[in-house]
Amino acid sequence: MERKGLLIVVSGFAGSGKGTLMKRLVEDYEGYALSVSMTTRDPRPGEVYGREYFFVSKEEFERKIETGGLIEYASYVENYYGTPRDYVEEQMAAGKDVVLEIEIQGALKVKKRFPDAVLIFVLPPGVEELYRRLKNRGTETEDVIRKRMSRAREEAGAIGEYDYIVINDEIDKSVRTLHGLIEAAHQTTGRNEEFIRGIRNDLEQLWKGEK
Ligand code: 5GP
């Protein structure tokens, strides 16, 4: 049976380790396509255009919004972030599960527009860990870290809108859990109505033929 690609939305507080988790998911398992977002924030050391993000100017970002080139966008700590449409559509048509690693406002927009999307929230084992990871990254100023922590406080209220959580305490385990959740999402009865209908029809035929 041909499998339809799902839209998988992953969010998590800054410092929850979700970036590493996403990288491992696409490395360890087949069938995933990781969407690369567009942003107006500056690249961090080691980040590459087209790999972590498409880094663009505010003007270029706004042009992309106007031409309908983004499936969602949001502003986060003074910058724009958005998901380019073309890649998502192409990969889903090819049967891939397309993973969007985006913040909450964007995630909720996606859910509204694509009700079949699966929303997963990655949580750190505890909040001390969160602060420590942000500090250890060493790429942000104290002010930006504070803003990101404050954003985490706001975001915590909306976790209930998500379908699943993954507690990211041990990376190997978390990757397996994440993949398992996505596999489970593929197997819901609601996403397999056509197959179930086929089985029902075939059973009917068989029953009639044998009577
Ligand atoms: P960072 O600057 O740490 O790379 O990302 C900041 C936040 O923006 C993270 O929560 C990340 O998930 C989110 N983000 C990244 N790309 C997108 C996007 O395309 N759309 C939205 N709405 N959020 C995004």
Task: Kindly report, residue by residue over 52-81, the tens digit of the pLDDT.
Answer: 999 999 999 999 999 999 999 999 988 999
149: confidence class by pLDDT, cuts 50, 70, 90: confident
- 3-state SS, one letter per residue, for the chain: CCCCCCEEEEEECCCCCHHHHHHHHHHHCCCEEECCEEECCCCCCCCCECCCEEECCHHHHHHHHHCCCEEEEEEECCEEEEEEHHHHHHHHHCCCEEEEECCHHHHHHHHHHCCCCEEEEEECCCHHHHHHHHHHHCCCCHHHHHHHHHHHHHHHCCHHHCCEEEECCCHHHHHHHHHHHHHHHHCCHHHHHHHHHHHHHHHHHHHHHHC
- Tell which residue, 3, 1, 20, 4, has the closest CA to residue 114: 4
Q: How many whole angstroms from 204 Cα to the centroid of ligand 1?
A: 50
CATH class in words for 7-34+96-210 = alpha beta
**Which residues does 185 contact at the CB level (< 8 Å), separation at least 6?**
6, 8, 118, 163, 191
Q: Between 149 and 102, whose confidence is greater? A: 102
Q: How many whole angstroms from 170 Cα to the centroid of ligand 1?
A: 23
Please state the rounded mean pLDDT for residues 86-107: 95
**Does residue 210 register a pLDDT over 80?**
no
Note the pLDDT of residue 148.
84
The tens digit of pLDDT for each residue in 108-143 reads 999 999 999 999 999 988 888 878 887 887 778 888
Which atom of ligand 1 is least distant from the CA of 101?
12
Which atom of ligand 1 is least distant from the CA of 82?
19
Q: How many whole angstroms from 54 Cα to the centroid of ligand 1?
A: 12
Q: How many whole angstroms from 191 Cα to the centroid of ligand 1?
A: 28
Which residue, by CA, sits nearest to atom 18 of ligand 1? Answer: 82
**Does residue 152 register a pLDDT over 90?**
no
Which atom of ligand 1 is least distant from the CA of 106?
22
Q: Break the chain into its structural domains and give their ranges.
A: 7-34+96-210
Please state the rounded mean pLDDT for residues 175-185: 98
- Ligand 1 pocket, mutate which of 78, 102, 149, 153 (most atoms under 8 A from CB): 102
Residue 14 Cβ < 6 Å to ligand 1: yes
Which residue, by CA, sits nearest to atom 14 of ligand 1? Answer: 102
Q: How many whole angstroms from 190 Cα to the centroid of ligand 1?
A: 30
Residue 16 Cβ < 6 Å to ligand 1: no
**Considering the chain, what is the average pLDDT of its residues?**
93
Please state the rounded mean pLDDT for residues 19-35: 95
Other beta carbons less than 10 A from residue 64's beta carbon? 19
Note the pLDDT of residue 136.
82
